[in-house]
Amino acid sequence: MCKLLWRYLFKPRNQETEISKKFEYNWNQIQKNEKNEIEKYSDFLKDLGNNYEQKRTVVSEFNRILVLAGAGSGKTKVLTKRFIHLVKNKNVPIHDILAVTFTREARNEMVKRISKSLDKDEELVKRYVRTFHSFALSILKQNEEFDIISESKQRDIIIGILEDLQVNEEISNSINRYITENVIDVVKDQDNKSGREYQIKPKPDDLCFGKNNIKTNAGIPVRSKSERDLANYLTFLGLKWEYEQELTWADNPFKPDFTIEDEFYLEHWCYNENTPEFNQINKKKYLENRRWKENQYKKHNKILFSTEEIEMKDLLKLQLRMKKELELVLGKKLPLCHQSDLPKISLQYSKANEHFIDEIIEIINLAKSRFFTVEDIKEKIKNQQKEKVIDFYNVLIPVMEKYNEYLKRKDLGKKDFNDLIQNAVQLLRTNQLRREYYQSRIKYLLVDEFQDVSYGEIELLRQILTNNTRFFVVGDDWQSIYGWRGAEVNYILDFETNFGVTEKIILPINYRSTKSIISASSHFIQLKGRQIKKDIRCSDEQLLDNTKIIQLNARDDFDGARYVVNKIRKLMNEDSSLKLSDFLILIRSSRVAQGYKTVFKENNLNIDLKTIHWSKGTEFQYVFVLGLKSGLYGFPNVYADREIKRIILDIPIEEKEAEERRLFYVAMTRAKKKLFLISEENNPSEFLSDVPQQYVFVIPNENN
C-alpha cells in the first residue's frame, strides 16, 4: 500500500493517471448520460441541428475530453457553446472557467458570442477568455510592471545590435562568410527565377538585353544585376563613371561596361576559360569577343580592370581587390567598404542580409520558446564541427546576450512574447501560493487549437492543472503545421498518455467544402504519417455537388500566374456577385512569390499572395494553390529546417515530411466551392500523385 501511494504521489508527468487507468470506465453508461443531457437541453442545442457529435461535445461531463475536429467542422463554435452551457445551464460561476486560444481574432470572436448569449459585458468575459500570451501576461502583471515589445520593435532592436557588433572583425567576418557561402546563391537563384531582369549580360552587345529594367542607386539604367552592384560600388568609392560609353579609339568601336574617371575601363566577364557553360550565353563566342576586347585595350595602351561573375559571390573580397588596384592606379586612398555597407551597394546582398536577420530572430525566438538560455546554446554547439553552424552561432550568441541585456534594463522594463510564457511558468513553478491560487480558481479549462501547442504552452497548462480540473481541448492533428516554430503534434496524439483517461469525440462533418475536396484531401492526408484516423464527410447540402478539383501543369511561374488572372476574371464576369475577397491565392513560401506578384501587378490584380500558414482557420469560395513543383523551395520542402535550426529543435525528417503533408491538406481544405492546383510541366510536386485522380480534372496542355 505504501509503495502504491508513493508511486501515485511521485508519478512521472506522462503517467499522471497511472492508477486511474486501472479502473474500468463504463463508456456505455457515460454515453447514455450524454444522451440524457442532450435531451434535457434540446432547446439550447437546437442550433446544432442533427449533429449528435457536436452536441456530445457541449454536454459531456467527463474529466478529460479531447475533441478531434476536422476542417470546417465548427470546433470554435462547439467550444464557445460549451462555455455558455456551463454558465447558463450548469450554473458554473464564470470565474471558475478559463478558455484559452492562440490568436486575438479567435479570442474576440469567442468573447462576442459568449457575452451576447450570457448578456454579460465583453470586458468581463475577456478576463476568462484568453490567448496564451494574455493569460501569461495577467499572471506576471500581478508581480511587476513592464511593457511588451512588438515583433517590429524586436527586429529593430536586433538590427541595431548587429550593427554595433560588426565593429568586431571576427563577428563581421562570420556574418559575411555565412551569407556568402550559405545564403547569397539561394537569394540570387530565387531573384533570377522570379524576376525578368538579368544577372549578367552577353557580349557582343545585345541592345535589347535587359534594357532599362535595372537601375543603380543613382537611378541610372544598366543591363544586369551584377553591373548594378559594381556601379553602386564605384559610386561608394566616390569615383566618376560612365556606363557603356562608346570607345572610338578601338579598331572597331565598342562599348565597355564602365569608363572610370574618363581614362580607365572596367569590364565584367561572365566567362573565363575555367567557367562552366550555361544555356543563356554561348561560351565559345563569348570568349572570342573577350579576347578581342582585351587585345584592344592592350594594343591601345589603355588600363583595364576586370571582374569575374564568380567573384560576385563574395562582394567583400572582390571590393577589397578592386580598391587596392584602383588606389594603385589613381594614386590616392579610397574608402574601405565594410560588411555593414554591402546591403547599400547590392540589392541581392541586402535581401540575403534580411534573410540572415530573419534567421537570427527565428532562432532566438525558438530558443526562448524552448526555455533555452545562452549557456544552453553554448553547450549545444561546443563540439560543433560544421563551419556554417559555427559562423551562425558566433553571431547569434552575442546578439542574444545583448538582446536579453536590453530587455532586462530596469529603466526600460521590457519583455517580448516569448518572455511572457517562460516567465509565467517560472513564477508558477517557484511560487506555490500563486500556483495553488490558479489551480483552485480554474475548475474548467478549455483550450482551442490544441494541435498547435508548444513546449512552453504545455508547461503553462501543467502548472494550473490538477486531477480535479475539467480539462477540455479541441484540435485536429491533421492541421498541425507549426512545428517550425516549436509546436509539437505529439501533444495531441499522446493526450491520454500525458493527461489521463480521456473521452475522445470526433466531429466528422465538414460544413465548408465540396464532396470532391473532402474525399480527396482526407485520402491524401491519411496515406502517410502518424495520426488519429478520422472518417470525414461532407454535409447533406454538399452531397450532390460533384465539382472536381482543377489541376494545371503550367510551363513556369509566369504561365501559372497568367492562368490565375484569367480564371479569376472569367469567374467574376460569369457571376457579378463575386468579389476579389472571394478568392484566395496560396503559396508554400513567400520567398518564391515575386514572379507571381509581377504578373498580378502587370494585370492590375490587387490580390495578396498568402502563405498556407497564414490561411489556417480561413475559408474562401475559390482557392488557388501555386508552386506545386519539385526542387528547392518546391512543395514539399522537407529541407526548410536548416542545420542551424536543428541545434535548437531537431525535427526528424519523417515528421518534417508529415508536416508538409499536413500543410498541403490545410491548403486544400480552405476551399468552399472550387480548388485549383497549379503545378509545373515535367516537374510536378510528388503530392499530386497522392491526390485520387477521380476527384481531379487535369487541364490538357494545349488549353493552358
| Torsion angle, alpha carbons of 240, 244, 245, 249, to 10 | 120
When pLDDT is averaged across residues 44-50 and rounded to a whole number, the result is 94
Q: What is the pTM of this model?
A: 0.83
Domain boundaries, the chain: 23-146+417-507, 151-171+345-413, 197-337, 518-699
Distance CA 311, CA 322 (A): 11
Give the pLDDT confidence of 560-598 residue by residue, as tens digits: 999 999 999 999 999 999 999 999 999 998 877 888 888
- pLDDT-derived band at 202, boundaries 50, 70, 90: low
CATH number of 518-699: 3.40.50.300
Beta bridge partners of 667: none
Per cent of the chain over pLDDT 70 is 91
Non-local CB neighbours of 466 within 8 Å, separated by 6+ positions: 439
Average pLDDT on 312-321 reads 91
Say whether 197-337 and 23-146+417-507 share the same fold: no
Given the candidates 3.40.50.300, 3.40.50.2300, 3.40.50.1000, 3.90.320.10, the CATH classification of the domain at 23-146+417-507 is 3.40.50.300
Q: Is the CB of residue 247 less than 8 Å from the CB of residue 255?
A: yes
**Rounded distance between C-alpha atoms, residue 263 and residue 274, angstroms:** 30
Q: Find all residues with CB under 8 Å of 601, minimum gap 6, and list them.
A: none
Cell of 395: 553571431
CA distance 81 to 103: 19
- What integer pLDDT is reported at residue 195 of this predicted model? 56
CATH of the domain spanning 197-337: 3.40.960.10
Closest CA to 136 of 448, 403, 428, 373: 428
Lowest mean pLDDT of 467-476, 479-488, 643-652, name the range.
Answer: 643-652
Averaged pLDDT of the chain: 89
pLDDT at residue 1 tops 70? no
pLDDT for the residue 598: 87
Query: Residue 199 — pLDDT band, cuts 50, 70, 90?
Result: low
Q: Any idea of the CA torsion for 250, 254, 256, 259, to the nearest 10 degrees?
A: 60
C-beta of residue 559 within 8 angstroms of C-beta of residue 704:
yes
CB atoms within 10 A of CB 586: 24
Residue 683 has pLDDT above 70, yes or no: yes
CA atoms of 191 and 675, how far apart (whole Å): 28
Residue 222 φ/ψ region, left for φ over 0, alpha for ψ in the -120 to 50 degree band, beta for the rest: beta
Contact 58, 82 (CB under 8 A): yes
User: Which SS3 state, helix, strand or coil, does residue 250 take?
Assistant: coil
The number of residues making up the chain comes to: 704
**Better-scored residue on pLDDT, 508 or 632:** 508
Identify which of 352, 354, 342, 350 has the alpha carbon closest to the alpha carbon of residue 236.
342
Task: Identify the CA nearest to 551 among candidates 543, 562, 542, 560.
Answer: 560
